[in-house]
Amino acid sequence: MKIITGVGAAVLDHINLIEAYPEEDGSTHITQVINQGGGACATAIVAAHRLGMHGQMISTVGDDETGEMILDSLDREGIDTTMMEVFPGGTSPHSEIMVNPESGTRTKFVCSNSLPPLSWNEDQKALLRNSDILHVDGTRYDNAMAAIELAKQYGIPVSVDGCHMEEDRELNRKMASMADILIMNARYPRLVAGTETTEQALEYFAFQGPKVVISTQGLKGCLAWIDGKIETFPAYSVKAVDSTGAGDVFHGAFLAAYMRGMDVRRSIQYATIAAALKCTQVGGRAGIPSDEEILSYL
């Protein structure tokens, strides 16, 4: 079993199903509230773990009730959280998510992570050293870059979720150039590469170091630079009720498929189906499908 270690966001999502999204200064009714573990990196690790990898997380939480719920949600999934750091008096990361059930879209309000950076003690380094791949989301640039630099020392491939953008785009370009697998959202490529089109941005990144370069495009599917050219992969159509975590699940599913030997194209197709099926349930993790379910659609 391949081992994946995540360094990045592990949060608690407060998911609010609403009647409709109101105009600014308006109001609406919340019809249901669901608390679920979330975070770009943590949800990707959970997805990869459910799909056949062994998942490990190195991140930070506070010693508050939210932190306990974050750790409990990962423990119940079987994720190794022994190297998570718990800071006394700290406020754990959480998000307020408003889901419009008519469209299946979500609007997210994130509480910034102000916890101290990871200490990177010898036990944490040992956990990373024994991994087959590192996955980071860059929400805490200091933690992500420290992990990437260690992974490079240990000869471990690096997967970067291109979602969080630093004000100094050069920092993002540096991180992206150190990735072996670079999967970005729709906005990240052009804004970080400084190009007019996503296609130009993917070509730019492909010559900076990554072996795999992909941009997810939501309902439009995704674009990938493969064998020296851009290829388009359509989204898998479902009746979506909530898009929360779809991109994160794409990351985890892609890595699970790719690390067990599927080629890039088939791994993208596998991940596309996984992300779509996730959207049929509320929350980032509840709808993650099984390997058998995904393969039945391939």
pLDDT at residue 161 in the model: 97
98 within some domain: no
155 within some domain: yes
Percent of the chain topping pLDDT 70: 100
180 within some domain: yes
Task: Check whether 102 has a pLDDT greater than 80.
Answer: no
Report how far residue 286's alpha carbon sits from residue 245's, in angstroms, rounded to the nearest whole number: 10
pTM: 0.94
Phi, psi of 128 (to 5 degrees): -65, -40
Q: How many helices (H) and strands (E) does the chain have?
A: 10, 14
pLDDT at residue 254 in the model: 98
Q: Of 108, 111, 154, 162, whose CA–CA distance to 134 is shortest?
A: 154
pLDDT digits (tens, 9 = 90+) for 273-291: 999 999 999 888 999 999 9
Task: Give the domain range for residue 265.
Answer: 3-11+39-93+115-297
Q: Mean pLDDT across the chain, nearest whole number?
A: 94
Task: Check whether 243 has a pLDDT greater than 90.
Answer: no
Count of the separate structural domains present in the chain: 1
Grade residue 111 by pLDDT with cuts at 50, 70 and 90.
Answer: confident
Q: H or E segment at 54?
A: strand 54-57
31 within some domain: no
pLDDT digits (tens, 9 = 90+) for 140-199: 999 999 999 999 999 999 999 999 999 999 999 999 999 999 999 999 999 999 999 999
pLDDT at residue 273 in the model: 97
289 within some domain: yes
pLDDT at residue 242 in the model: 85
Task: Check whether 138 has a pLDDT greater than 90.
Answer: no
Residue 170, classified by CB atoms within 10 Å of its CB into exposed (0-12), middle (13-18) or buried (19+), is exposed
Q: Are 276 and 298 in contact (CB under 8 A)?
A: no
152 within some domain: yes
Q: Are 138 and 173 in contact (CB under 8 A)?
A: no
* CATH number of the domain to which 187 belongs: 3.40.1190.20
Task: Check whether 30 has a pLDDT greater than 80.
Answer: yes
Task: Check whether 103 has a pLDDT greater than 90.
Answer: no
Q: Are 106 and 244 in contact (CB under 8 A)?
A: yes
pLDDT at residue 97 in the model: 86
Grade residue 110 by pLDDT with cuts at 50, 70 and 90.
Answer: confident
19 within some domain: no
Q: What is the mean pLDDT of residues 52-67?
A: 96
Percent of the chain topping pLDDT 90: 81
Report how far residue 269's alpha carbon sits from residue 263's, in angstroms, rounded to the nearest whole number: 10
Q: Which amino acid appears at position 167 of this protein? A: E
pLDDT at residue 78 in the model: 97
pLDDT at residue 136 in the model: 98
Task: Check whether 22 has a pLDDT greater than 90.
Answer: no
pLDDT at residue 240 in the model: 85
Q: What is the mean pLDDT of residues 210-216?
A: 98
Q: Are 70 and 12 in contact (CB under 8 A)?
A: yes
78 within some domain: yes
